[in-house]
Amino acid sequence: MKLLPLSVLIVPAVLILGCSGNSSKTPTPIAVPSSVTGTQGSAYTISVFAQAPGTLQPDDVIQLGTSIFVICQDPNVNPDGTFPPGVTSSLAELLEYDEKGNVLQTYKLPGHPDGMVAFNSTTIWVSSNEDANSVISVINTTSNSVQSYTADVAQLPHGGGLDDLKLINGVVYASASNPTTTMSPSPNLAPYSTDSSGATAEYGVNTGPVLYSLSLNSNGTTFHSTPVLMSSTPSTAIIGNTPVTLNMTDTDSSMFDPSGDLVIDSQQDSELVFVQNFGTASQSTSVLNVTLYGNPWPLDDTRWSPASGSSFMLLSDPPTQLIYRIDAASGFAPNSAYSAGQGTLLQTNTTTGVLTPVYIGMNNPHGIVFVTE
């Protein structure tokens, strides 16, 4: 969920070496908190995969080969990368785990990291500071180095920072989070997409970019962002098949659905936006309002289970510092959508937008990945 932007902080590009954390020991089992309760009987089982070290909080999770990479945020650093009184540096890390939960490697990260994508088999990009002052860090898992880049403009066009990252045809794309909004857009582009309650522009109107393509500049210290999708794009509401205009006021996580379409979560708007035929002349968007028991429900990550093969789910819960492992007794049904949101793991019906709880009583789950075995 976005926060109000704070003062601008200029972060220099830096080269940070990764730190080894190899361990051959099996982690000591950690009990699942008693508040976490399953709602579907024995269909699923839950255990703790790992606990973040110190005071770090796990967020985004990806699989790269046989390794699991988890962004661990420093809770003492603001989402725009600034430090509150008494804090002088960020302790944030990228942790590499094996599939048993053993730490293999640690990498120091700047600011408040959030989004992450595997660029290739040995390179990971991480975005930091989703509210403002964005930094892109490129991690080389062979040399164990981290090279960080700042934006080549003082402020990104949408007014905020960058969040989740996705790789499409060799290009990295970033969600434009914490946008500047207005209550009196000109021109007026209503009707705006909004939550199922029918409210319009509850959080103001965003007419700026919601997605950028990113490129690293040849100077080795800055990156360039190019808007590729605007919030004010004409769209279609999936429920009712009616025309609307996008109004994404809290662009957050991004993902791919089983059809290969890019899906972007506008968190506080309780919306999933589907981008069909991305980057082509026939590109179009559709928007799905999601609800739990009939009420709009903000989501973080949504992921689809693999079409085939054996897998388990990992789910991060930052405030508890825990990464959960969730297994389906009969295996996850192919191409089924699951979402994290507001203390709950949910199944998501991407036709109706109806959410069904799987586990409740978590704190604030964020990152999801299906780990293929």
* Residue 42, SS3 per DSSP: helix
Tell me the average pLDDT of the chain: 91
CB neighbour class for 216 (10 Å; exposed up to 12, middle 13-18, buried from 19)? middle
C-alpha–C-alpha distance, residues 44 and 346, integer Å: 12
pTM of the model as a whole = 0.91
Which pLDDT band holds residue 185 (cuts at 50, 70, 90)?
confident
Q: Which domain holds residue 112?
A: 15-372
The reply to whether 8 falls in a domain is: no
105 pLDDT tier (thresholds 50, 70, 90): very high
Q: What is the pLDDT of residue 292?
A: 97
Which amino acid is present at 275? V
Q: What is the largest CA-CA distance in the chain?
A: 61
What is the rounded CA–CA span in Å between residue 127 and residue 148? Answer: 9
116 lies in a domain? Answer: yes
CB 347 within 8 A of CB 338: yes
Measured torsion, CA atoms of residues 71, 72, 74, 80, in degrees rounded to the nearest 10 = 20
> What CATH number is associated with residue 337?
2.120.10.30
Tell me, yes or no, whether 117 lies in a domain: yes
CA–centroid distance for 21 within its chain: 25
Residue 9 placed within a domain: no
In a domain, 32, yes or no: yes
Q: Give the strand pairing for 113-120 and 344-348.
A: unpaired
Tell me the per-residue pLDDT of 7-39, one tens digit each, with 9 for 90 and over.
333 333 444 445 545 545 566 789 999 999 999
Q: What is the pLDDT of residue 4?
A: 35
Please report, rounded to a whole number, the percentage of residues in the chain having pLDDT higher than 90.
84
For residue range 294-321, list pLDDT tens digits in order. 999 999 999 999 999 899 999 999 999 9
Domains of the chain: total: 1
- Answer whether residue 263 is part of any domain: yes
What is the DSSP-derived secondary structure letter of residue 131? S
| Run of H or E including 341 | strand 337-341
pLDDT in tens, 260-296: 999 999 999 999 999 999 999 999 999 999 999 999 9
10 within domain boundaries: no
In a domain, 7, yes or no: no
Mean pLDDT value of segment 354-368:
97
Residues 123-147 have a mean pLDDT of 97
